[in-house]
């Protein structure tokens, strides 16, 4: 009788990071879920190859960003520019850092966040996995497609940004920077 290998253990349930927001946040940037390096560091976009912080610095070159060793300073710098950070998922199972490996994900409580961010005008999804859940995020906020507003509206727009992940190498840094600038410009952030 051939020996049978026991089934591989299921990946452990991982818990994400808390939101980085303030009452002045106008645009909330949503990733899918932090990678291994980010979870280990307890910091959003903690992998040194991720272009997130570099893209933002390129959008505001006149405002030097604190270095990687000053995460609290980076968060304050980000908040001072009207941006916030969070993820679509509060928890999930995943081996490694790839979005394609996310299993049994639990969506964050966006309805609970809305009261803390009264001036929110847009949610910018950092990459395809995050944007794939734009409808669920909008539903959690109590929004419908009709709530996508224009200038002067109190609606919250959903934006798709090219991923800042090192796994998204099809786009050059400059192409990503331009796309991010174009997405944020209508909200007075660049």
> Residue 148: left if φ>0, alpha if ψ -120 to 50, beta else—which one?
beta
- H or E element in which residue 77 lies: helix 71-80
Is the Cβ–Cβ distance between 130 and 32 less than 8 Å? yes
Q: Which residues are catalytic?
A: 50
> What is the distance, to the nearest Å, from the Cα of residue 143 to the centroid of all Cα atoms in its chain?
19
Beta-carbon neighbour count of residue 97 at 10 Å? 19
Tokens of 152: 């002067």
Distance CA 97, CA 113 (A): 25
């Amino acid at each position: 009788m051939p020996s049978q290998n026991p089934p591989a253990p299921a990946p452990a349930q991982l818990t994400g990071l808390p939101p980085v927001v303030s009452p002045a946040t106008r645009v909330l940037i949503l990733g899918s879920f932090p990678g291994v390096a980010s979870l280990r560091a307890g910091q959003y976009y903690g992998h040194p190859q991720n272009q997130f912080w570099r893209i933002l610095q390129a959008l505001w070159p006149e405002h030097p960003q604190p270095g990687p060793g000053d995460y609290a300073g980076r968060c304050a710098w980000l908040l001072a520019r009207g941006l916030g950070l969070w993820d679509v998922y509060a928890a999930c199972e995943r081996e490694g850092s790839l979005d394609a490996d996310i299993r049994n994900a639990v969506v964050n409580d966006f309805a609970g966040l809305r009261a803390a961010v009264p001036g929110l005008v847009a949610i910018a999804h950092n990459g395809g996995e995050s944007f794939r859940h734009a409808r669920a995020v909008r539903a959690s906020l109590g929004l419908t497609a009709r709530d996508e507003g224009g200038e002067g509206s109190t609606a919250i727009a959903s934006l798709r940004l090219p991923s800042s992940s090192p796994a998204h190498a099809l786009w050059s840094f400059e192409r990503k920077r331009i796309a991010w600038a174009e997405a944020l410009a209508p909200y007075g952030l660049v």
